[in-house]
Amino acid sequence: MSGRPLPRAVGLLALVLAACTLPFVLSNFRLFQFSQVYIYAIAILGLNLLTGYNGQFSLGHGAFYAIGAYASAIMMDRWNIGYGWTLPVAGVLCLIVGFLFGLPALRLEGLYLALATFSLALAVPQILKYFEHWTGGSQGIVLSKPNAPFGLPLNPDQWLYFVTLAVLVLLFWLGANLLRGRMGRAIVAIRDNHIAAEAMGINAALYKSLVFGVSAAYTGVAGALSASVIAYVAPDSFNVFLSVTLLIGSVIGGLASIAGAVFGALFIQFVPNWAQDISKAAPWAIFGVFLIGFMYLMPFGIAGGIRLLWTRATRSRVEPEGRSAVPTQAHTTT
């Protein structure tokens, strides 16, 4: 994971190319699942920015996912706006809402922020049902999947797969750039030592609200994509368990890691599918056991575990420090 820039770029390019061949070898259903993985990965990256890199809690990111999904669905359903245009609008809307939610959240330390966001997650389905005129109440909104443009010989599932993949690559690239730059350093500095960061002239209040906004925007875009891919939105699919699912993906993938978002997304998409064969209740029992198990054994998640193995194998200098959930700065350069 910590190779030189050139081989890493080649590796990433190979991965993207491999992802591009999937539509021609997998069934439509599998393809749909992979689109869902990319969507989760975008949402989890948003959560990672907030929790992993900036050290703020959110147990309520499902709320922003819901806002993105509904914004996109209402725009497509009511005003016939193309799905492509709804993505940036949903992103900007969530950026604003997230920024505004982040402002009062500034005053809330750790646990209180967790409480506030957790109640937000619980309240969202009710709020969605309440504004029935816009959201279609508990019936939700049924959409149709878009066809591929320019007469491309692709079916809707294949086309949507490419769209989600493109958005994923774009947002991950933006995210990596954001974290590598001046802003990224500031974000991590606030997490590591709030007071020292302020003493260095970083406007912690502004940055924290901004990160909340950016994180919400990522999750909102993911929600907007999901509205197109699933072609249906309903209030009860955005319950508190969605927020917990995203958080579980984030923890299992690796909190302060960009690649971790993809591992986490793969986990939350495919593990429940397998577990469902055991019992309807099994996926959550397994999620819970994995969550607690990872907290004990692999607090840096899958990405952290891979990095650790890689460092051991190449005998590099980096060693994990302590059993903290939030890795120190040495671990955050993926």
Partner 1 sequence: MDIFVQQVVSGLATGGIYASLALALVMIYQATDVVNFAQGELAMFATYICWSLINAGLPYWAAFLSTLGIAFVGGVVIERLVIRPVENAPILTIVMVTLGLLVICNSIAGWIWTYVQKPFPSPFPERPFKFDNIVFGAHDLGEIQVTLLVLLCIYLFFRFTPLGLAMRAAAHNPVSSRLVGIRVGCMLALGWGLAAVFGAVAGMMVAPVLTLEPNLMGGVQIYAFAAATLGGFTSPGGAVLGGFIVGVVENLVGTYVSFIGTELKFTVALAMIIVVLLVRPTGLFGTTVVKRV
Q: Which residues of the shown chain bind partner 1 in the complex (CB under 8 A)?
A: 51, 57, 59, 104, 107-108, 110-112, 114-116, 118-120, 122-123, 126-127, 129-130, 195, 240-241, 244, 247, 251, 255, 279-285, 287-289, 291-292, 295-296, 299, 323-326
To partner 1, the closest distance from the beta carbon of 259 in angstroms equals: 20
Q: How many CB atoms lie within 10 A of CB 292?
A: 10
Which CB atom, from 23 or from 125, has the smaller least distance to partner 1?
125
Q: How near is the Cβ of 315 to partner 1 at its closest, in Å?
A: 29
Which residue's CB is nearer to partner 1, number 3 or number 104?
A: 104
CA distances to 276, 284, 286 from 279, rounded to whole Å, are: 5, 10, 11
Least distance (Å) between residue 308 CB and partner 1: 18
Q: What DSSP character marks residue 181?
A: S
**Least distance from partner 1 to the Cβ atom of residue 40, Å:** 17
Least gap, CB of 276 to partner 1 (angstroms):
12
Position 225: which residue type? L
Smaller CB separation from partner 1, 89 or 291: 291
Distance CA 319, CA 194 (A): 24
* Per-residue b or e along 179-199, where b marks 16 or more CB atoms closer than 10 Å to that residue's CB: beeebbebbbbbbeeeeebee
Residues 6+ apart with CB under 8 A from 145: 156, 157, 160, 228, 229, 231
Q: Which two tokens stand for residue 114?
A: 């967790």
**Burial of 280 from C-beta contacts in 10 A (0-12 / 13-18 / 19+):** exposed
CB of 247 or CB of 302, closer to partner 1: 247
| Separation CA 249–CA 291 (nearest Å) | 9
Q: Which is nearer to partner 1, 182 or 280 (CB)?
A: 280
Report the nearest approach of partner 1 to the CB of residue 122 (Å): 5
Cβ closest to partner 1, residue 35 vs residue 245: 245
**Min. distance of Cβ 206 from partner 1 in angstroms?**
19
- Residue closer to partner 1 (CB basis): 59 or 234: 59
* Contact by Cβ (8 Å): 89, 245: no
Beta carbons of 230 and 164 less than 8 angstroms apart: no
Encoded tokens for 136:
């279609």
To partner 1, the closest distance from the beta carbon of 118 in angstroms equals 7
Residue closer to partner 1 by CB (options 30, 129) is 129
- As to burial, measured by CB atoms within 10 angstroms (0-12 exposed, 13-18 middle, 19+ buried), residue 110 is exposed
Maximum Cα–Cα distance across the chain: 61
